[in-house]
Every structure is written in C-alpha cells, then in structure tokens.
Amino acid sequence: MVKAVVGANWGDEGKGKITDTLAEKADIIIRFQGGANAGHTIVNEYGKFALHTLPSGVFYDHTTSIIGNGVALNIPILFNEIKSIVDKGVPMPKILVSDRCQIVMPYHVLLDQYEEERLGGKSFGSTKSGIAPFYSDKYAKIGFQVSELFDDELLEEKVERVCEMKNILFEHMYKKPAMDPKELLATLHEYRDMVAPYVTDVSLFLNKAIKEGKTILLEGQLGTLKDPDHGIYPMVTSSSTLAAYGAIGAGIPPYEIKQIVTVVKAYSSAVGAGAFVSEIFGDEADELRRRGGDGGEYGATTGRPRRMGWFDCVASKYGCRLQGTTDVAFTVLDVLGYLDEIPVCVGYDVDGEVTTEFPVTRLLEKSKPVLKTLPGWKCDIRGIKNYEDLPENCRNYIEFVEEQIGYPITMVSNGPGRHDIIYRESKLSK
C-alpha cells in the first residue's frame, strides 16, 4: 500500500509531522523530489530536528528511509544530516539512495548565488542551494547520476567537459574564478565514498516491497502552489511537488498510490516572493508568526521569517484538487486559539468579479481577498484526542473549511508532537 503525504499550499504545512505520525505504521518512507532547500521540522523523544534531505521516518528503527531518484541530492548535506541525528542519540537509520539520483554539484550552489547577485532586487527569493541550476542541468542532460560516481573513466571525461562549459559562465558572465577540473574530480571521489554504503536500485527494491504488501510513504516537499506546472510560476520550485510525481521520483507505478494525504495548514504562510492573496501585515502578521508552528514561523533551512496570511479556501481547494486528495490533514489548528475572530479568504476578487477558482499567475497578481469572519474558540485545544471534545467554534471552523475546499478532513493536528492528532470521520470520504 503506497500513500503520499503532500502539501496543498506554499509548503511548511506540517508534512514532516504528518509523515512522522503515519510512519509509525509504515515500513518505508521515500523523498521523491526537491532537495535540501526546504526542511521539515520534527519534534520527538530525541529532541527537535530540522531535516532537509532525509525523510521524516528516520527516527523509527522499523523503517527504511529512501532518497528517490527525483531528489536533488546534496551528498555532504545528507552525510552531515545522518551524522547530526546519530550524534543526538538516534539509532543509525536504514538509508537507501537511488543509483539514479542526481547530484547537486558545488558549482550548482555557486551558480545559484551568482545568479541571485546578478538579478539583485529582481531575484526569485531562491534559498541558493543550487536546486534550480541542478534541475536545469538534469534536463539539459549534463547532470551527474550517483551511478556515474563509480565509473572513473566516464567521470573524468565528463568533469572536463562540464567544467569547460561552466567556466565560460563563471568567467565571462559572472566574472568569477574558473573551476579546476582536478579539484572537482577529487570532490566527486569524496562524494562517492560518502554515498557508497547506501546506493541501491530503488525502484527494484520498491517493486519487491509492494509485492510483499509493505506500507510505503511518499513524502513531498513544498506544496501544490510551488509546482512548476500548476503553481505560481515563475515563483515556484524546480521539481514537481505533486503526488503524481511521486510515482516518477520514486520509480513505482502511478496506480499503486492508493491514498493521497494532502496537508493543509489552518492559516497561510509562504516564503519567497510571489502573489499571496490572503497575506496580512504589521502587528496582526507578527503575532501569528510568533505564535505559529512550533516556536514561530521561520524557515527551517534559512531561518527567514515567513510571510503570513489567513486561511485561503481558494488556494487550498485548488491545491487539494491538483494533488488528487483522498484525505486532508488539517494542521496547526491549535495556534489559532488566541483569536476572537478568524478571517478566512473565501474568494478572489479579480477586476470586480469574484471567483473561487485559483487563477493563473497573471490574474493572481490582481486578485484581492474576499474575507469572511468566523468566531474564534479562545482556548487551548492541545491534548484533545476526540473530535467531539473540540470546542464548537473550532469544529465549525474545520467544517466550514472542509465545505469550502470540498475534500474530506480526516485528520486534525493540534500540536507538533507525533501523537497530537485527532482522527475524524468525514461525510465527504468515499
């Protein structure tokens, strides 16, 4: 049984926590896209961790953690991440890395930095981890696959060829020092030694696991609105954030994905530039940011303060639709307990016409939020285990959101811990 855990919005919805919760009953957890540019925050008995490359199941000793072929693999970051969790007392996890995974090269990170410098104020708000140059090279067919690290002749020839090409950009476009192919080759040899113990034919491994009836979780990074096709292009990420891509980025048949858990946060937050219709500012935003998530809404990788907004039904309905949602996990609801009234964005006003369908970026830029205000519940809902025990206004908020987005909310997360979860029956469940 394969399940995907993906985001409906701009990322940071709490996918890490939901994956960690579901991983208790899973055998295998796979990252299928993205790189170390975003992070998941996980709180468990070992402490608080920000994971960038490892899937959220690494803290259990019964799970296998996999880096799928669709991931932008930064080998030193993976290596340090493994070390940092083991150093904090977590047992050495079982980790597999796809032999078809491609490698984030040191020059990808440099190119990202140089390009952001060149763009100045017009930058895309990149985290400068080399992800966009990495995926560009992958599709330009000059990327390095993990399997190639084990073929010296091939590696040497390719390093020469790629350096020659990249050095033109480095020296002439960015006016920066050229790369030395010998140095790069030595770095790749180091990478080979770091990754060697984990390299596997992952799709074959998964094929067997599916036949054996294992429970497999596909863990997405970011959310629908950052998808390069269906998101707020060009303010998007460079790999697909949709559950459908889980089949490709892990190497399994699409029809094996039986459950798609779309994580939706009870309010909005976003990082980076781009239209954000329900955004709020000033003291209102500061308070929500300070109280948000677990210890404030600041990027897990970058520490950047996140942009804040009210819940956006239009964006979330769209986000759930493109994921192919079977279940919504509605997260971080406890944070809203301080508000007397909670505004919710129920429509977009585009040039005087109100719509509930998420528009293309050109029209998104012009959209104004249509807000509806719901009463708050003014208490702390952490620790509640049964849906019926939630305050009435809190249940009303959940049910209002469910009706607006049109997908069943079957999980409500009311705290950062792995057991802070309330399961509920939804009349929308099939």
Catalytic residues: 12, 40
Provide the 3-class DSSP secondary structure of residue 56: helix
Whichever of 19 and 367 has its CB closer to ligand GDP, that residue is 19
Whichever of 278 and 413 has its CB closer to ligand GDP, that residue is 413
Write down the least CB distance from residue 48 to ligand GDP, Å.
Answer: 8
Cβ neighbours, 10 Å, residue 118: 12
7 interacts with ligand GDP by CB under 6 A? yes
**Do 14 and 264 form a contact (C-beta atoms < 8 A)?**
no
Judged by CB under 6 A, the stretch of 38-46, 88-96, 146-154, 281-289 that binds ligand GDP is: 38-46
Contact track, ligand GDP, 382-421, x by CB under 6 A? -------------------------------xxxx---x-
Write down the least CB distance from residue 41 to ligand GDP, Å.
Answer: 4
Write down the least CB distance from residue 280 to ligand GDP, Å.
Answer: 18
Provide the 3-class DSSP secondary structure of residue 200: strand
Round to whole Å and give the CA distance between 350 and 393.
31
Write down the least CB distance from residue 337 to ligand GDP, Å.
Answer: 10
Round to whole Å and give the CA distance between 53 and 34.
9
Name 192's Cβ contacts closer than 8 Å, sequence gap at least 6. 149, 150
Residue 304 carries which DSSP code? P
Write down the least CB distance from residue 20 to ligand GDP, Å.
Answer: 9
191 class by beta-carbon count within 10 Å (0-12 exposed, 13-18 middle, 19+ buried): buried
249 interacts with ligand GDP by CB under 6 A? no
Round to whole Å and give the CA distance between 364 and 274.
9
User: What Rg value do the Cα atoms of the chain yield, rounded?
Assistant: 22
Write down the least CB distance from residue 116 to ligand GDP, Å.
Answer: 22
17 interacts with ligand GDP by CB under 6 A? yes
Whichever of 15 and 321 has its CB closer to ligand GDP, that residue is 15
Whichever of 55 and 133 has its CB closer to ligand GDP, that residue is 55
Written as one string, the DSSP assignment of 334-361 is GGGGG-SEEEEEEEEEETTEEESSPPPH
Judged by CB under 6 A, the stretch of 8-16, 73-81, 86-94, 369-377 that binds ligand GDP is: 8-16
326 interacts with ligand GDP by CB under 6 A? no
User: Which structure tokens are listed for 212?
Assistant: 């054996």
**Residue of 8, 14, 232, 252 interacting with ligand GDP (CB under 6 A):** 14
Cβ neighbours, 10 Å, residue 393: 16
20 interacts with ligand GDP by CB under 6 A? no
40 interacts with ligand GDP by CB under 6 A? yes
Cβ neighbours, 10 Å, residue 171: 13
Structural element, H or E, at residue 167 = helix 152-168
**Residue of 73, 216, 218, 300 interacting with ligand GDP (CB under 6 A):** 300
Judged by CB under 6 A, the stretch of 15-23, 91-99, 103-111, 307-315 that binds ligand GDP is: 15-23
Compute the residue count for the chain: 430
Q: Contact residues for ligand GDP (CB under 6 A)?
A: 7, 11-17, 38, 40-41, 43, 293-294, 300, 331-332, 334-335, 413-416, 420
